[in-house]
């Protein structure tokens, strides 16, 4: 599948030339364009063209009505859209193939979300997450001035073990990185998952996420959570939610008693429409914060 990104109708770059689509645009800049809801995504094999209007970096539900990049002028404290422009203009373009792969996965995830194709959107969001699971901690380490301290952190993150003594793997490594990269306040920030469909579907899917995937006790329930309507999940718990969903639904390993059965999920498309958009926002925030981390160390 070949993906092409083009401007949404009435898009204005407002002089930010590094964000204009051309063969020279850096994939990181193109990805910011995508996640801010300023692109149309075309699958050249099928001819399907989808306008991605949601500003996923702001919210899973808010559209970019202005169809520009002005959101960058107030999103990150101390930075404006010009600072992003200068970063992409002045810093060397490294890891281009990696970021292009990430962009392709997120393009499919975002366009599928806009089409209400929940399963497809979740699948490609997860694939994008796996792409960054090793790369972002290494990018972090390469940009820090304390190489010895960074090496020690990487060693600790990588050496994490399961109960049987085996390596916990890339995604556990990434979870450890996120715990170190974000402050306690940032980890305690929440993201809402709003349930849809009939009352019966909402009740079953709410219980599936709360009890089966998050494994919450009553003390874990967040203030903004509303029974059978909305689950408000802490940033620090989103990693586990993403992985548990993959393991329990897509893997279906024999002998496991905690697999998600079709009778429990009721309707897969409804369920993954609920999950995919907030998880795209989660991944978008991590991607953006790594870019900002690089910018502040130039």
Sorting pLDDT into bands at 50, 70 and 90, what band is 17?
Answer: very high
pLDDT digits (tens, 9 = 90+) for 160-189: 555 434 344 667 788 888 988 999 999 999
pLDDT digits (tens, 9 = 90+) for 26-43: 999 999 999 999 999 999
The pLDDT of residue 167:
42
Q: Which residues contact 117 (CB under 8 A, 6 or more apart)?
A: 269
pLDDT bucket at 151, cuts 50 / 70 / 90: low
How far is the C-alpha of 52 from the C-alpha of 60, rounded, in Å? Answer: 12
pLDDT category of residue 148 using cuts at 50, 70 and 90: very low
User: What integer pLDDT is reported at residue 155 of this predicted model?
Assistant: 63
Q: What digits encode the pLDDT tens for the residues 181-234?
A: 999 999 999 999 999 999 999 999 999 999 999 999 999 999 999 999 999 999
Q: What is the SS3 assignment for 53?
A: coil
pLDDT tens for residues 104-121? 999 999 999 999 999 999
pLDDT, average across residues 231-257 = 87
Lowest mean pLDDT among 30-44, 138-152, 172-186, 278-292: 138-152
Residue pLDDT, tens place only, 80-99: 999 999 999 987 777 889 99
- The Cα 99–Cα 171 span in angstroms is 18
The mean pLDDT of 224-249, rounded to a whole number, is 95
- In angstroms, rounded to a whole number, what is the distance separating the alpha carbons of residues 36 and 224? 26
Q: Using the Cα atoms of residue 261, residue 262, residue 267 and residue 268 in order, give the sign of their dihedral.
A: positive
**Taking a C-beta distance cutoff of 8 angstroms, is the pair 232, 222 a contact?**
yes
- The pLDDT, as a whole number, for residue 174 is 87
* Confidence class for position 137, pLDDT limits 50, 70, 90: confident
What pLDDT is stored for residue 135 in this prediction? 85
DSSP assignment of 120-150 equals HHHHHHHHHHHHHHHHHHHHHHHH-S-HHHH
Give the orientation angle of helix 118-143 with respect to helix 268-295, to 10 degrees: 20
């Amino acid at each position: 599948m070949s993906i092409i990104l083009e401007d949404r109708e009435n898009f204005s770059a407002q002089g930010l030339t590094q964000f204009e689509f051309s063969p020279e645009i850096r994939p990181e800049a193109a990805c910011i364009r995508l996640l801010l809801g300023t692109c149309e995504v075309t699958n050249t094999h099928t001819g399907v063209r989808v306008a991605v209007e949601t500003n996923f970096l702001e919210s899973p539900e808010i559209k970019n009505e202005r169809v520009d990049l002005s959101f960058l002028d107030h999103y990150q404290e101390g930075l404006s859209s010009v600072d992003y422009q200068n970063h992409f203009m002045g810093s060397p373009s490294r890891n281009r193939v990696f970021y292009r792969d990430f962009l392709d996965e997120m393009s499919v995830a975002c366009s599928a979300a806009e089409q209400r194709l929940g399963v497809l959107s979740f699948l490609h969001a997860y694939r994008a997450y796996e792409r960054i699971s090793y790369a972002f901690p290494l990018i972090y380490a390469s940009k820090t001035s304390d190489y010895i301290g960074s090496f020690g952190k990487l060693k600790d993150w990588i050496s994490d073990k399961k109960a049987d003594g085996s390596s916990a793997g890339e995604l556990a490594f990434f979870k450890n990185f996120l715990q170190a990269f974000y402050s306690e306040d940032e980890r305690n920030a929440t993201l809402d998952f709003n349930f849809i469909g009939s009352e019966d579907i909402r009740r079953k899917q709410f219980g599936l996420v709360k009890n089966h995937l998050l494994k919450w006790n009553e003390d874990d329930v967040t203030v903004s959570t509303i029974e059978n309507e909305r689950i408000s999940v802490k940033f620090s718990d989103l990693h586990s939610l993403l992985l548990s969903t993959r393991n329990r639904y897509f893997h279906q390993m024999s002998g496991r008693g905690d697999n998600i059965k079709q009778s429990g999920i009721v309707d897969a498309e409804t369920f993954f429409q609920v999950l995919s958009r907030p998880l795209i926002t989660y991944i978008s925030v991590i991607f953006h914060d790594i870019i900002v981390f690089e910018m502040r160390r130039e």
